[in-house]
Structure 1
């Protein structure tokens, strides 16, 4: 087994608690599904939000999914002028077999952030 890190992002329409929770749930489920990652294999998750999202913590959605034993942290994304708004990002650290190929996940409007990744499409 080896330690890996996955990246992912998703956008929401508005700074709304339910949208943040729903989008985070969608992102995490897709990330876990594409990579066959279980809660038991996760080491930690770091969530960031753009400055325009403060209605809810993305980690709340992860806890609701059953990631109660995974250390979670939320932070602000660097507010670079002109950057994509209304974005939730995540970095997940997890263990998987040596030959595992990570599949990063970029959904909705966040796909434009990493058009270089085939898995983001």
Structure 2
């Protein structure tokens, strides 16, 4: 079954190293928590808020083994007044046997504010 797996993170600074490291950290967690492997991933969409432009967060995926052929696209998030700043959002579309309610969506740093209803208790406090 094809499922969408969401994730988001934030950076403190619009700097390439932080954009890449926080994106890699997020993707690693999404893959681990959902037991994904690159051959089962159809595509990855990454959006960034308009205050992130020092680098492409998709570069982080090229640091992961086996991701060479996974299609990845970066885009800019809608600039909604008052929305969370310096935010990187990720949508992985993958084949999985998990039921929709068993998919683990991952939110790091300030992005935990986006969907507190999807954050497990241990992540909320950690």
Provide the TM-score with structure 2 as the length reference.
0.91
Provide the rounded CA distance (Å) in 2 between the counterparts of 1:27 and 1:17: 15
Provide the rounded CA distance (Å) in 2 between the counterparts of 1:96 and 1:56: 31
Provide the rounded CA distance (Å) in 1 between the counterparts of 2:111 and 2:61: 19
Please identify runs of 4+ aligned residues in structure 1 that moved more than 3 A: none
Gaps of 5+ in 1: none
- How many Å apart are 1:72 and its aligned residue? 0.3
Alignment of 1:97-108 (within 5 A): 97=97, 99=99, 101-108=102-109
What is the root-mean-square deviation in Å for CA atoms of aligned residues?
A: 1.3
Look up the SS of the partner of 2:8 in the other structure. strand
Provide the TM-score with structure 1 as the length reference.
0.94
State the match for 2:59 in structure 1. Answer: 60
Provide the rounded CA distance (Å) in 2 between the counterparts of 1:87 and 1:10: 6
Equivalenced residue count is: 120
Equivalent residues of 2:6, 2:89 under 8 A apart: yes
Gaps of 5+ in 2: none
Provide the rounded CA distance (Å) in 2 between the counterparts of 1:51 and 1:99: 34
Look up the SS of the partner of 2:114 in the other structure. helix
